[in-house]
Amino acid sequence: MEELYTLEREVGRGSYGVVFEGRMAKSGQRVAIKRLPCSNPECIELYLQELWAMRATAMNHVNVIALHSCLLQTGPRSLNTLKPGKLPLRLVESVLKGSVVGAKQSQGRTGVQSNTKRRTNSASRLQDRTNTAQARANLQNMDKSSAPDYTTPQRPQNRGRKRPAPREEEQTAPLRCLALWLVMEYCDGGDLNQYLLSRPPDAQRNHSVVRQLCSAVAFLHSLGITHRDLKPDNVLVCVTPKGPVVKVADFGLSKMSVGSVDGGLTRQHFSSTCGSDFYMAPEVWGGLTYTAQADIFSLGVMFWAVLERITFLEEGTAQEQLGAYVCKGRSGWLMPLGEALWENADLQLCIPMKFKRAPPLPPPPGPAMRALLLDMLASNPDARPLADQLETRVRAALREDSH
């Protein structure tokens, strides 16, 4: 690691890994380095999905986090850069076999699960895989001569198919894959919660964030990527003299789809109930099949929270989170919007919020933006605007309300 990168300090820790601030040894450029321990097949599958989605965004978009490289750890000090077209077969085998290849038989499977996320189960993961098999085949046909060194993992589509013989170095390697290290661009502003809530409200800044998020999700959907876990925690911020540049990150729950042209992405259905409670769409809450339009609902929750500076404290935490919700009963119990709309599809959302909040606050959304938010938060996914329409509609609404 020291030959390529230096680790300086830990900047984040979650259920699935640790993020460090580091520097490239040769250039001194700051990078974020995420260590993902390959301790069980469920985690490994999420890591490969994240690597796969980030490789698909190799064309790069200013509002999507950039991946510089990926390293494979096989020993305490053994790290190798993944080369184009390469993927350790042991990681693929771990996912397909349901046990970590190379691990001692006595080891139990100890998947770690976040309290705020609903992770996929094995049956629904398998079903989602069949929905995206063709997308993986399409990715294999990308021009490898221009592909960077974080090539997409390609898993066998059929468990019964004969796997190519491993190369000599793979046959003789005695150690299992201990961890993946993802080297990404560094964002000095923290996540969107930290950035916005540490500063006084500013309407122009909020509008800029909303427009940038529209652009990012339109880009992802144009590539056939459904994020499935959009929330302020998964949006990072780079501070620049011209203002914040936001970056959509964390693709562990993302899925690739085919037919993303002319609205075809909305016909690709998923069945895994996953995401974070306060941002999940009603159809996901209800356990129905859903499409990329679930991302639009999550964006609507975020936009409402950003524009009105709505926050909540999730049970068991002390950190304020940006997010919209429905207040139930006299006790003020908070219910996620998606859950409330699943229980009552005709529920009337009050935009702007009616109850008092501590000043200072930004001005409430104008009539045009309120109408757009209600469209994004519609119970019926087909009534929500498509991602490629959203940026134009947001700009038009903000312009209309400014007059």
**Higher pLDDT among residues 81 and 366, named by residue:** 366
pLDDT for residue 265: 63
The runs of H, that is alpha helices, within 257-329 are 282-285, 293-308
Tokens found for residue 57: 């965004």
Q: How far apart are CA 397 and CA 369, in angstroms?
A: 5
Lowest mean pLDDT among 54-68, 165-179, 317-331, 351-365: 165-179
84 band by pLDDT with thresholds 50, 70 and 90? low
Q: Which of 10-24, 93-107, 314-328, 374-388 has the highest mean pLDDT?
A: 374-388
- Of 1.10.510.10, 1.10.15.40, 1.10.599.10, 3.60.15.10, which CATH number belongs to 192-402? 1.10.510.10
Residue 109 pLDDT > 70? no
Q: How far apart are CA 120 and CA 111, in angstroms?
A: 12
Residue 378 pLDDT > 70? yes
The average confidence (pLDDT) of the chain is 80
| Cis amide bond preceding 241, omega within 30 | no
Residues marked active site are found at 229
The per-residue pLDDT for range 391-401, each reduced to its tens digit, is 999 999 999 99
Q: Same fold for the domain at 5-185 and the one at 192-402?
A: no
Q: How far apart are CA 273 and CA 285, in angstroms?
A: 7
Residue 162 pLDDT > 60? no
pLDDT for residue 106: 38
Mean pLDDT value across residues 159-179 = 52
Architecture of domain 5-185: 2-Layer Sandwich (3.30)
R_g of the chain computed on alpha carbons = 21
266 band by pLDDT with thresholds 50, 70 and 90? low
DSSP of 77-103, one letter per residue?
Answer: TEEEEPPTT---HHHHHHHHHTS-TTS
Q: Which of 103-117, 207-221, 257-271 has the highest mean pLDDT?
A: 207-221
Q: How far apart are CA 135 and CA 152, in angstroms?
A: 12
Tokens found for residue 83: 């080369």
Lowest mean pLDDT among 13-22, 121-130, 222-231, 330-339: 121-130
pLDDT for residue 85: 58
Residue 159 pLDDT > 60? no
Q: Domain residues of the chain, as ranges?
A: 5-185, 192-402
Which 8-state DSSP code applies to residue 276? E
